[in-house]
Structure 1
Amino acid sequence: MRKIKAIHKAVYSPIDDLETFRAIPTQSIDYLDPFLFLNHHGPQFYRKNNNGLPFGPHPHRGFETLTYVIKGDITHQDSGGGESVIKEGGIQWMTAGSGLIHSEVSSQEFKDNGGEVEVIQLWLNLAAKHKMVKPNYVGLPFGDICHFDLDNGKVNVDLISGNWGENKGPRDSLSNLTMTSIRLKADGILDLEINKKDEILFYLANGELVVNGTEIQKHQLVQFENDDTKISIKANKDSYLILGYGEPFNEPMVAQGSFVMNTQQEIMDSYADFRSGKMGTWK
């Protein structure tokens, strides 16, 4: 079995009135190359006539964002023309690349009527050769994601990118990442084989699992060694798992604000390009 190197507990870090648990980065872990950032928002109930999610217009460069809409909805808009409303079960995948401005807020319907929100937001690094690719946005509703069942229906896999047996995710990853969400019913069993070279993102959003004999609780991030391929999972309760994996870049990284590049000079250039309007303008 692949050894567990460490178990990191997400820290409570609210944003305005939005309940947030940050799993990466924390005092115990900076990042898992190429996984840079993970915020778990909610679950939280909003009353009628609320302000919704607080992620108004802001720039990005040098990485990708992947957002899981577990409950509620998100309205995406960006300076490259991308726009959509994604509801429960869907995802948003944005390649910031050379830079753009985007916002992720609640729909007017949600702000008017209220409801429950739960969202997971990831930052996925880009290799140096892809840092300045043309920005791109794809919003996928639940029905456009690849879904399949294991263990007689006790394990439901939502495959977003990469291949799993004969199944292929609808999103092509520039970094060859396999990205999923996995819903396990109590007593569901999942056995994985992942290349030794791959770094693994393993975050339990809800529920309780036993992973290679170790009990894992919600809001915990599991960090693995690169010593074996096999991972054995059993669900003690109904659980929701974020699982991703791919080869690390092993490249220099400089992160500042909402830019992630390879050198400090590239960060300075990013701020200059944003101020000069090279990442687009917001209307």
Structure 2
Amino acid sequence: MRTIKKIHKAEYRPIADLITYSPMPTGSIQMIDPFLFLNHHGPQKYPPNNNGLPFGPHPHRGMETVTFILDGDIAHKDSGGHKSVIESGGVQWMTAGSGLIHAEVSSEKFKKEGGDLEILQLWINLPAKYKMTEPKYFGFQKDQIPAISLDEGRIKGQVVSGKLEETAGAFNTFTDVNLATLNFEEGAKLELSIPSEHNIFFYVIKGEFEVNGNPVKALNLAEFNNDDEKLVIEARAESILLFGHAKPFDEPVVARGPFVMNSMEEIDQAYSDFQAGKMGKWSE
């Protein structure tokens, strides 16, 4: 069985009135190549007439954002002309590539009525050859994402990218990144074979798992060694898992603010290009 190198507890980092846990990067882990960053917002209940999510217009270059809307919604808009409101169970995949400006706020309906909110945003690196690719955005609602049922229906999930068992994911991606969200009933069990050269991304959103004999609780990220293919996951309670794996890029990573490149010179260029308006213009 594949062994666990370390379990990392998410750090509590609220953003205004938004409950936020950050599993990565923290003081104990910088990244799990090519997975760069994860923020877990909520769960919480917003009252009527709220201000919604606080993520107004900001730029990105050199990476991708994958946003999982577990509860609530996100109104997306970017300088490439893409607009959408993705609701509970939906997923957004944005390839920043050469650069764009986007905003992620709550819909007018959510701000007026309030409601439950829980959202995860994962940043995935792009290899050097794709860092300056044309930006892209896709937002899929829950019913557009392939569903999967395992262990006689005791595990239900969504295959977001790549493959899980024989189910292909919703998004076509530049790199071979496999991502899924999985809901386990207590006692449900899943055995997987993951290529040993792939890095595993294993974040417990809710509940508790036993993974290859090790307990991993909610708001914890398990970092694995690359020493075996076998993974045995058993839920000790009703649980939700964000699960991924990918072959590492093994390239230099320089991240400053919203930009992720391979050198400091490229970061400086990104800031210059943004200030010069080369990542698009923002209009309300």
- State the TM-score, normalizing by the size of structure 1: 0.99
How far apart in 2 are the matches of 1:151 and 1:214? 20
How far apart in 1 are the matches of 2:268 and 2:92? 28
1:122-137 superposed matches below 5 A:
122-137=122-137
SS in 2 for 1:270: helix
1:92 is aligned to 92
2:253 is aligned to 253
Is the 2:36–2:122 contact (alpha carbons within 8 Å) kept by the matching residues of 1? yes
How far apart in 1 are the matches of 2:42 and 2:165? 33
How far apart in 1 are the matches of 2:184 and 2:6? 23
Is the 2:273–2:279 contact (alpha carbons within 8 Å) kept by the matching residues of 1? yes
Between the two proteins, the alignment pairs up a number of residues equal to: 283
Percent sequence identity over aligned pairs:
51
Provide the alpha-carbon RMSD of the alignment. 0.6
1:70 aligns to 2:60 (yes or no): no
SS in 1 for 2:179: strand
1:187 aligns to 2:187 (yes or no): yes
How far apart in 2 are the matches of 1:183 and 1:98? 35
1:11 is aligned to 11
Question: Structure 1 stretches (4+) deviating beyond 4 angstroms?
Answer: none
1:98-247 superposed matches below 5 A:
98-247=98-247
How far apart in 1 are the matches of 2:221 and 2:203? 4
Is the 2:191–2:233 contact (alpha carbons within 8 Å) kept by the matching residues of 1? yes
1:36 is aligned to 36
How far apart in 1 are the matches of 2:82 and 2:179? 22
Tell me how far 1:270 sits from its aligned partner: 0.3
Gaps of at least 5 residues in structure 1 are none
How far apart in 1 are the matches of 2:215 and 2:51? 38
Gaps of at least 5 residues in structure 2 are none
Tell me how far 1:173 sits from its aligned partner: 1.5
The letter of the residue matching 1:53 is: L
Is the 2:164–2:180 contact (alpha carbons within 8 Å) kept by the matching residues of 1? no
Tell me how far 1:163 sits from its aligned partner: 1.9
How far apart in 2 are the matches of 1:49 and 1:163? 41
- State the TM-score, normalizing by the size of structure 2: 0.99
Q: After superposition, what is the alpha-carbon deviation per residue over 1:117-161, rounded to whole angstroms, capped at 9, x for unaligned?
A: 100001000000000000000001010101110111001121011
The letter of the residue matching 2:160 is: I
SS in 1 for 2:277: coil
Is the 2:35–2:123 contact (alpha carbons within 8 Å) kept by the matching residues of 1? yes
How far apart in 1 are the matches of 2:68 and 2:261? 24
